Amino acid sequence: MKNLFALLFMISTLAVSVFSYKCYSCMCRNSTKCKETEIECLGNRCMTASQRVKNNGKLQKEMYKSCANETLCGTKGAMVVGNSTLRFYASCCDGEFCNNKGYELLPENQTQNGVTCPSYLCFNTLDECKTDKMMNCTGSMNKCIEYRGSMVNPDGTFTNYSGKGCINDDAC
């Protein structure tokens, strides 16, 4: 029995080494270029995820590369809340080091789609944002969102926030 366990362990280890692929890995904030390292993945898919956040006119771009997370492959998220916008795109590919492309976001559709939502962003509260301000949703943003949460500031403190706006299915 002990030998059977050892044999099964060897076969499973060999199978993992035979079926592992390498992908580029990196994570960069406030940049579209980052220093890549190589990592081994159990599958044969790699991923590059790009994100763009614009808050009160300040633009921030970020990129992440790694082994593919199949639940994110192909997602194209978009959300507008008050004066803040978020867009992201996760692109997956097959084969070793296939995630060698750089930062990529699909074009943004600005065509109004007939959906209107309340629009506001409140800071320093987890209470509902009360607003009469409405916004016209565009492109794939066909749903309204209300959310509340806390974010960690660069100095380690927390800021509570509450928001309402437009969102698409992938961002949900």
pLDDT block averages, 10 residues each, the chain of length 172:
39 46 90 90 90 87 92 90 89 93 86 94 88 92 92 84 90 82
Does any domain span residue 2? no
The pLDDT of residue 19? 56
- Mention every residue, 6+ apart, whose C-beta is less than 8 A from residue 68: 23, 41, 43, 45, 46, 47, 92, 93
pLDDT at 43: 81
> Count of domains in the chain?
1
Residue position matching structure tokens 């790009």: 50
Is residue 10 included in any domain, yes or no?
no
Is residue 6 a part of any domain in this protein?
no
In 29-154 the beta strands, taken as DSSP E runs, fall at: 37-41, 45-55, 58-67, 76-81, 84-94, 112-118, 120-123, 134-138, 143-152
Closest Cα to residue 25, out of 52, 48, 50, 51? 48
**pLDDT at residue 46, as a whole number:** 95
Model's pTM, two decimal places?
Answer: 0.74
What pLDDT, on the 0 to 100 scale, is given for residue 1? 42
In a domain, 12, yes or no: no
Contacting residues for 163 by C-beta, under 8 A, at least 6 apart: 81, 82, 84, 120, 121, 122, 129, 145, 146, 147, 148
Q: Evaluate whether residue 15 is within a structural domain.
A: no
Q: What pLDDT is recorded for position 170? A: 86
Within a domain: residue 9?
A: no
Q: What is the pLDDT of residue 50?
A: 93
> Is 5 within the bounds of a domain?
no
Q: 110 is written with which tokens?
A: 């600005």
Q: Is residue 4 part of a domain?
A: no
- What pLDDT score does 3 carry? 44
Produce one character per residue of 3-38: b if its CB has 16 or more CB atoms within 10 Å, e if not.
eeeeeeeeeeeeeeeeeebebbbbebeeeeebeeee
Range of the domain at 127: 20-167
The residues with which 64 forms a beta bridge, in sequence order, are: 27, 49
Q: Which residue has the tokens 């209470």?
A: 127
CATH number at residue 90: 2.10.60.10
